[in-house]
Amino acid sequence: MEKISTAERDLLRELARRVAGIAAKPVMEERRGLWRRHNALRPCRPMILIFPEGGWGELLPDSALECESEAARWPERALRTRIYYDEHFDDDTVITGDWVIHKAVGSTGWGLAAKQHEATEDRGAWRFNPVITGPEDLKKLRMPDVAHDEKKTEERLAFAQELFGDILDVRLKGVDHISYHLMAQYTKLRGLTETMLDMYENPGMLHDAMAFLTEGHERVLAQYVELNVLDVNNDNTYHSSGGNGWTDELPPPDFDPGRVRPCDMWGAAEAQELAQVGPEQHEEFSLAYERRLLAPFGLTGYGCCEDLTRKLDYVKRIPGIRRISMSPWIDIPACAEQLGPDYIFSWKPHPGHLVGEFDDDKVRGYIRDCLEVTLKAGCVVEMVLKDTHTCEHHPERFDRWTRIAREEVERAAGTLV
């Protein structure tokens, strides 16, 4: 591994001490308890999570980092991100005092590599460049073989233990985030327009592709089990399209910590490429296959940016379904009525409110309207602000949005007593 300088090491250790101090605050344990109640569908106030995603380039630009070597810059960014949360966001993110090293698990791939026409400007849009142009090209796909590079794992762990072992809880974890994106995977190979047309003109080809990918992912999961590289995710592990895994429901009572199974874990899937596809086609070409993939898991989540308003009857058939993504484009009253208290209403507020002129009253009214409707229906609500690709270099907008959300949650919580 790349060496880091003494100055970089000292800086990283000082940042780690600050993170450890934040993680020790009583509020973090309080948040863990709230998330466990929330994820178990027990009565609780609405929860708030902030994921700036593309906005991090403006909140913590490269110029804010002091380390020079790449080996030091990525842990510096990770540590500063946790500190930034504590200093700026009044959300319900749990800042933990651990440092997770994931096992070096990789695969041989699927036999075909996606191609695309690159953007002509920084952070601009790219275009699909299909490598699957007909049924004969499906024969070029291969099912992945999984392997664990134990030597690389040991190197990663030794590096982290030497750097942070006396400050943070350095933990080795296996594969703890499993999320299936069949349509995203296939459209990158086939093209989005081509996939849409295939639903009408060549449905057999699309079914063949989905069946192959599904079988391949099932085979990958079986290899994870055989290699014993799965790990529990009933913790701060990111789940679905925004959420975490804090729960007392997993793993089940017959859990063997020496051999983690899919039924001990959360799993998730989404098909946002089908946002404009009708419920029956979404079910036929995607959900029917995703349901197979999610069946082995203890608890599951579904959705991302696709509007699921008219598709919830199919989504609710997913085994173990608990967290359902409610995109900015849903019909909130209709979804609230369909979900009620039986699922997590994982609402994704519109990120566009962070661009242009930030209007406090507009944001407040928008959040209040959603909370009033969903809580009246008995929904278990979480607000997950994400897909914020820019805040137009006004980082304080995230702070203001979160403060407004917190005030509205506290106001709404008073109606739950």
Residue 90 lies in a domain: yes
CATH number of the domain that residue 391 is part of: 3.20.20.210
pLDDT in tens, 120-132: 888 788 999 999 9
pLDDT at 80 over 90: yes
SS3 248: coil
Distance between CA atoms of 39 and 245, rounded to whole angstroms? 8
Of 80, 81, 85, 66, nearest to 28 by C-alpha is 85
Q: What are the structure tokens assigned to 232, written together? A: 């529990």
Q: What are the structure tokens assigned to 364, written together? A: 């407040």
In this prediction, residue 183 carries a pLDDT of 98
In this prediction, residue 417 carries a pLDDT of 45
In this prediction, residue 343 carries a pLDDT of 98
SS3 392: coil
Question: Which residues form the domain of 61?
Answer: 6-413
Res. 341 pLDDT band, cuts 50 70 90: very high
Residue 104 lies in a domain: yes
Mean pLDDT of 86-109: 97
% residues pLDDT > 70 (the chain)? 99
The pTM score is 0.96
In this prediction, residue 285 carries a pLDDT of 98
Res. 3 pLDDT band, cuts 50 70 90: confident
Length of the chain: 417
Q: What are the structure tokens assigned to 147, written together? A: 């392997």
Residue 1 lies in a domain: no
Cis amide linkage into residue 251, ω under 30° from 0: yes
Residue 34 lies in a domain: yes
- Number of independent structural domains in the chain: 1
Residue 219 lies in a domain: yes
Distance between CA atoms of 101 and 200, rounded to whole angstroms? 46
- Provide the b/e sequence for 108-129 (b: ≥16 CB within 10 Å): eebeeebeeeeeeeeeeeeebe
Mean pLDDT of 152-157: 97
328 with 349: CB under 8 angstroms? yes
pLDDT in tens, 208-265: 999 999 999 999 999 999 999 999 999 999 999 999 999 999 999 999 999 999 999 9
Of 294, 293, 288, 307, nearest to 266 by C-alpha is 294
pLDDT in tens, 368-413: 999 999 999 999 999 999 999 999 999 999 999 999 999 999 999 8
Mean pLDDT of 298-303: 98
pLDDT at 102 over 60: yes
In this prediction, residue 222 carries a pLDDT of 98
Residue 370 lies in a domain: yes
In this prediction, residue 43 carries a pLDDT of 82
202 with 195: CB under 8 angstroms? no
For 206-353, strand residue ranges (E) read 266-269, 299-302, 321-326, 344-347
pLDDT in tens, 132-154: 999 999 999 999 999 999 999 99
In this prediction, residue 1 carries a pLDDT of 62
The DSSP call for residue 53 is G
Residue given tokens 């009033």 in the structure block:
372
Q: What are the structure tokens assigned to 64, written together? A: 């804010």
Average pLDDT score, the chain: 96
Q: Which residues pair with 230 in a beta bridge?
A: 175
